[in-house]
A and B are shown apart, each in its own frame.
Chain A
Amino acid sequence: MTRTLTHLERLEAEAIHIMREVVSELEKPVMLYSVGKDSAVMLHLARKAFYPSPPPFPLLHVDTTWKFQEMYKLRDRMAQESGMELLVYRNQEAMDRGVNPFDHGPLHTDMWKTEGLKQALDKYGFDVAFGGARRDEEKSRAKERIFSFRTATHGWDPKNQRPELWNLYNTRKAKSESIRVFPISNWTELDIWQYIHLNDIPIVPLYFSAKRPTYVHDGQLFMADDIERLEKVMGKRPEITERSIRFRTLGCFPLTGAVESDAKTLPEVIQEMLLTTTSERQGRVIDKDGGDASMEKKKQEGYF
């Protein structure tokens, strides 16, 4: 008797297959963990892939010190529940220079995330890093292979990608090179939400609507997660108003735009997402500097 697998079953099987290939063929894998919804799905898939063993690699959080408090809380809890080692890396130079989203603009992402990631991978000597990027997020991602090779300086060469046939992944590389592997490349935002819903995967409560302190900056709505710190960096205390808000995507709190919403449950969140008319990354400032090819350029420089 045959049974047609659902699209989620196929996507899950593919992601698990990819994770097992990496663990079998490469020496020192790590899973990048940013505490967002995609990371939540990645962690769940890893637990599924290796059960009853714990996933045989650590989690790496490249921290900017500007994440939401609730993200730090969930991060620590999930690491403990999964039985995995959690590595937290912060770029020392960015710490020393007090790099922040207000004074430093694009440099904030570059120093904390791009540089921080490269430093962390070099420091621990990881030869392969799992990332939760999806092809539906952005145009250059749509072109990226599942196994994405990086030079010794972590650069990506989009014009010279290896052919990737069937589900046969060529994991061979020179000693100095590294690989970024994207097991959920073929998932969409809706798939992620539905998978979280079906599997009851814990996510940061900020994805659900609640009354939260907010302020408006450059025409966008933000949450005042750490008012004292905001005041210090901005030079003045922003005008705080309480609103019912939630987040479609999570990053650094001064860079992540909130949306006004009443969606308090997952189905409501999904409903809102499906009826919305703007794309997911719009809430993030990162794609906007540099025009059309900004993500492609960042990736060439080593950004995930």
Chain B
Amino acid sequence: MSDTDTIYKADALIAHDIDAYLDTHQHKSLLRFITCGSVDDGKSTLIGRLLYDSKMIFEDQLEALQADSKRVGTQGQEIDFALLVDGLAAEREQGITIDVAYRFFATEKRKFIVADCPGHEQYTRNMFTGASTADLAIMMIDARKGVLVQTRRHSYLCNLIGIKNIVLAVNKMDLVDYSQQVFDEIVADYTAFAHEIGIKSFTAMPISGFKGDNITTLSENTPWFTGQPLIEHLESVELDLTTDQTKPFRLPVQWVNRPNLDFRGFSGLISSGSVKPGDAVRVLPSGKTSTVTKIVTLDDQLDEAVAGQSVTICFADEVDCSRGNVIAVADAPPEVSDQFEATIVWMDDDPLHVGRAYWLKLGTQTVSVTVQQPKYTVNVNTMEHLAAKTLELNAIGVAELATDKPIVFEPYALSRTLGGFILIDKITNRTVGAGMLHFSLRRAQNVHWQATDIGREEHAGLKNQKARVLWFTGLSGSGKSTIANEVEKSLNLMNRHTFLLDGDNVRHGLNKDLGFTEADRIENIRRVGEVAKLMADAGLIVLTAFISPFRVERDMVRAMLPDAEFIEIFVDTPLEVAEARDVKGLYKKARAGALKNFTGIDSPYEPPLNPEIRVNTLEMTATEAAEYIVRQIMPLK
């Protein structure tokens, strides 16, 4: 490959004038891109080629590569570049890419970070990881195969995550005799599809990663191609970060810097716009305003800082500002809301539980969130909208979500930082989903809390008691209803105002539309929680007797109430005992298969880890248990 010399003639400069070379290199910009497409389209080979042509492969690595190619390569006696990038043992064994690999190379004009993304559908979350930080995507197509399902899927994902620059690389042109007709047909095919999913423009080029055609220079094999070779294109496309600088100033606060009483600065990465000392700014969500006095760095103070820089800024006044707040230009602040519509990509084996509380992290804000039943999911192969009850692994759907407190946001189309979020499972801590906010729901903006003069204190005060929610949880037949009933009788004798919400009773009315699937059980508990909370607001001592098998939902109700008002009572009866009692004959039905999703049989029960009260029904009778509970919750004023 003699043509590489023209692009990588840097060598001569390095040898003759290292200072001049360093000066050039220092001023290079950075382009991050991904390669995606179907399995065997030659993604890894193309990256290997780029590294090889830009001399990022050293002699010792080349020797190892040659040896490996002969041993496990898929290219006969020739060098298998894919082996350079497939770094995990399992990948080399199976000859597939499982996780994103990041590779680095530079030309005279730019430095590049390329993420090689897996093609298999089961590793979509890894592909998404690579795409989320990319400025550009190279969509690989095997010239012999044309646009495949995986091409469509990846194009859809790249467009969804907001990659503006897409290169359609029609690869393996050497295997179709460099036919212009084949190339034109593929481009026409892809154009039709691209328009369908909203990709406005892309750049197509015929290449051979294996032979090196149109990679660094235009190939003689494709005289009909009049565009730029791949590298030249990569060197000249505009960067997203530069575009971000033209938007209004936003700085999500990561950390408050307080070394001593005389200094208070706010540290973070500027997500858009620019800032100068003297600028009027507003802190969200509070809306308080101030003026920037200085931008501090270890080296010296800055006259201006722009999107993409990590800085520390100081204010003229003592304005309240902490992690999670967003500092914005005063006259164009972002919105604040707690209900949204978003596109969500599900990334966990455990599907979305509608109504369950997850952590949502957006910028530097982390809040509790619940997701509604999806409006639809997208079949990325056909672009059809499908009705769905939940989101399974790799599903992409649109749903509404509600956070437990307002967050500062912008639509994802305007800001990746203030519109992109991840969902985290509260128990496993796994990142289960990623989402892109569309807009806030108007009902969140228009429905305000109406302040009432008689509050919960007054309600409870009049009853001469403190509101409580006594939450009984345990297996079916453990004795929850019986014990709760005994407790209520005692409290009634003590002139306490109480109300017992019983699982079976509520299902006759309020929740009669709900079944026993996991999703319905979650909604059942959510509604009961809301009702219990209203009753506690009214000053009552509420007793609830529900199996409430999932920890997260019990914790969700706990979070709705003031501290110490929620008392979790674990009626601890082993399954064998509850099943032996089988008061309602339900275990028998469940064992016979006549009753699905029965807790303890084919649906799990998660016992409380730290219940306020635990009663062991093997050691005490229902009356003893009730007496014990009443003693524990005294005094009630």
- Chain A residues in the interface with B (C-beta under 8 A): 2-14, 16-17, 20-21, 23-24, 47-54, 135-136, 138-143, 145, 158-159, 161-168, 170, 172-174, 185-186, 188, 190, 194, 197-198, 267-268, 270-271, 274-279, 282, 292-293, 296-297
Contact = CB atoms under 8 A, between A and B. Distances in A.
A20 B87 contact: no
B554 interface: no
Contacts of B58: 276-279, 282
Contact of B298 (A10, A51, A164): A51
Interface in B4-38: 11, 14-15, 18-19, 21-22, 25-30
Interface in B74-121: 84-90, 92, 98-104, 106, 110-111, 113
- Interface centre among A197, A278, A292, by most chain B C-beta atoms within 10 angstroms, is A292
Contact of B308 (A5, A163, A270): A5
A162 B245 contact: no
Contact of A7 (B28, B102, B362): B28
B59 interface: yes
Nearest to B269: A17
Given A5-B306, A5-B309, A52-B257, A292 B89 contact: yes
A166 B128 CA distance: 9
Q: Top 8 nearest A-B pairs by Cβ distance?
A: A139-B87, A7-B30, A16-B310, A293-B89, A53-B259, A172-B429, A271-B18, A279-B58
Nearest to A265: B18
Contacts of A186: 102, 104, 113
Interface in B488-508: none
Contacts of A197: 22
Interface stretch (B413-421, B584-592, B619-627): B413-421
B422 interface: yes
A174 B297 CA distance: 35
Given A10-B241, A20-B254, A136-B104, A275 B22 contact: no
A165 B100 CA distance: 12
Interface in B225-250: 239, 241-242, 245-246
A134 to B, nearest CB: 9
B22 A267 contact: yes
Nearest to A3: B306
- Interface centre among B30, B242, B416, B430, by most chain A C-beta atoms within 10 angstroms, is B30
A301 to B, nearest CB: 14
Contacts of A165: 128-129, 132, 420, 422, 431, 434
Contact of A24 (B14, B103, B323): B323
Interface residues of B, number: 83
Given A9-B308, A185-B102, A267-B22, A2 B246 contact: yes
Contacts of B59: 277-278
Nearest to A300: B89
B379 interface: no
A172 B424 contact: yes
B470 interface: no
29 contacts: A2-B306, A3-B306, A5-B29, A6-B27, A6-B28, A6-B30, A7-B30, A8-B26, A13-B310, A16-B269, A20-B254, A21-B364, A24-B323, A24-B364, A50-B257, A139-B87, A142-B103, A143-B99, A143-B101, A158-B88, A163-B422, A163-B431, A165-B420, A166-B420, A167-B269, A167-B417, A194-B25, A197-B22, A277-B58
Contacts of A12: 310
B60 interface: yes
Interface string B342-368: 000001000000000001011110000
Contacts of B442: none
A55 to B, nearest CB: 11
B157 to A, nearest CB: 12
Contacts of B431: 162-165, 170
B245 A278 contact: no
B487 to A, nearest CB: 34
A140 B87 contact: yes
Given A5-B241, A163-B129, A167-B269, A198 B90 contact: no
B263 interface: yes
A7 to B, nearest CB: 4
B306 to A, nearest CB: 6
Contacts, number: 207
A168 B421 CA distance: 8
Contacts of B417: 166-167
Nearest to A268: B18
A135 to B, nearest CB: 5
Interface string B126-158: 101100110000000000000000000000000
A234 B422 CA distance: 56
A143 B100 contact: yes
Contacts of B364: 21, 24
Interface string B430-453: 110010000000000000000000
Contacts of A139: 84-88, 101
A157 B268 CA distance: 31
A148 B283 CA distance: 33
Q: Is the interface of B mostly helix, strand, loop or mixed?
A: mixed
Contacts of A173: 429
Interface of B: 11, 14-15, 18-19, 21-22, 25-30, 58-61, 68, 84-90, 92, 98-104, 106, 110-111, 113, 125-126, 128-129, 132-133, 239, 241-242, 245-246, 254-255, 257-259, 263, 265, 267-269, 296-298, 306, 308-310, 312, 323, 347, 359, 361-364, 416-417, 420-422, 424, 429-431, 434
A152 B130 CA distance: 28
Nearest to A173: B429
A218 to B, nearest CB: 16
Nearest to A56: B255
A13 B255 contact: no
Given A20-B268, A170-B422, A170-B424, A163 B254 contact: no
A168 B269 contact: no
Contacts of A268: 18
B553 to A, nearest CB: 19
Nearest to B243: A2
- Interface centre among A9, A52, A159, by most chain B C-beta atoms within 10 angstroms, is A52
A135 B102 contact: yes
B324 to A, nearest CB: 9
Contact of B254 (A10, A24, A48, A296): A24
Given A5-B29, A271-B15, A278-B59, A296 B88 contact: yes
- Interface centre among B125, B265, B309, by most chain A C-beta atoms within 10 angstroms, is B309
Contacts of A23: 255
A271 B15 CA distance: 7
B308 A13 contact: yes
Nearest to B103: A142
Nearest to A134: B104
A68 B92 CA distance: 37
Contacts of A190: 25, 106
A37 to B, nearest CB: 16
A292 to B, nearest CB: 7
B297 A48 contact: yes
A140 B14 CA distance: 30
A179 B495 CA distance: 54
Contacts of A185: 102
Contacts of A11: 30
A193 to B, nearest CB: 9
B310 A17 contact: yes
Contacts of A6: 26-30
A168 B259 contact: no
- Interface centre among A3, A4, A6, by most chain B C-beta atoms within 10 angstroms, is A4
A29 to B, nearest CB: 12
B296 A52 contact: yes
Contact of A52 (B11, B111, B263): B263
A173 B426 CA distance: 10
Contacts of B429: 170, 172-174
